[in-house]
Amino acid sequence: MFKNVFGSGFLVRTAHVVLTWIITLILFLYDTELRKQEETGQLLQPVLFVLLVLLSVLLYFAVSLMDPGFILSEENDLQFTLGVTEEQQDMIPPSTKSLRQRRCGHCLLQQPMRSKHCQTCQHCVRRYDHHCPWIENCVGERNHCWFVLYLAVQLLVLLWGLHITWTGFSYAPSWSLWLRSNGVLLTVCALLALLALIVLLLLGSHLYLISMNITTWEFMSRHRISYLKHCGADENPFDRGAARNLWGFFCEWGSVVWEQVYFREGNDPV
């Protein structure tokens, strides 16, 4: 389920964790709201902030090391895609075209619908969304929900950290003295603001795509994807309405046979 922590993304993960705790330490060392509360014995907010930072780090490692849905065995994955039981298999229209799967030109495995081969990870990934260099892992069927949760927690940490940094700026009679006394906090503030903006845009875009039940890869490359390129610009065969899409993504666990959704009654096979 989890990859080796000392794999190819070791330096990226180490840099992320070290930077996170260095910034957290700076917020406690300078004359910020956190330090004042700690000195006066008001430990509720400092403890909550540290726990939230710790949660974000744990989620980062979970998403980074989790199997995103690698297709490692053609036989097992093909059996699942066509349906484990006869009842499930009967849900797919008896068309050879509907059951046909694309064979990957890299790993030579048959790809279930919505799967894609990742050149970086060298594996096909079920319901492939994208490869994220930040976590040095693919975002796919098994870790996409956790990735969105991580983004939400990370955004809370960054916005709270930005507020704490703002409370630490001290007055100085001149700009040169102000920069000298607040230079470190100003750098931290700029870094947190930039990261918060990036995470906010990422979170917003993922929630928007999830509400339409479409992945980043499908959204960006639909004109090249065999099961989407014949659809209209506003047509999405996987869309079940925003509410059902969000419910299915966050509240329904387990893999989905996308062939069954694609060829459900009322959808014309493409």
Residues belonging to the active site: 132
DSSP state of 2: B
DSSP 70-118: EE--HHHHHHHHH-SSHHHHHTS-S-HHHH--EEPTTT-PEEPTT-EEE
If phi > 0 it is left, if psi is from -120 to 50 it is alpha, else beta; for residue 69 that is: left
Q: How many CB atoms lie within 10 A of CB 255?
A: 14
Contacts of 245 (CB under 8 A, 6+ apart): 210, 211, 212, 213, 239
Rounded distance, CA 243 to CA 215, Å? Answer: 17
188 neighbors 34 (Cβ within 8 angstroms): no
3-class SS of residue 23: helix
For residues 25 and 179, what is the distance between their CA atoms, to the nearest angstrom? Answer: 20
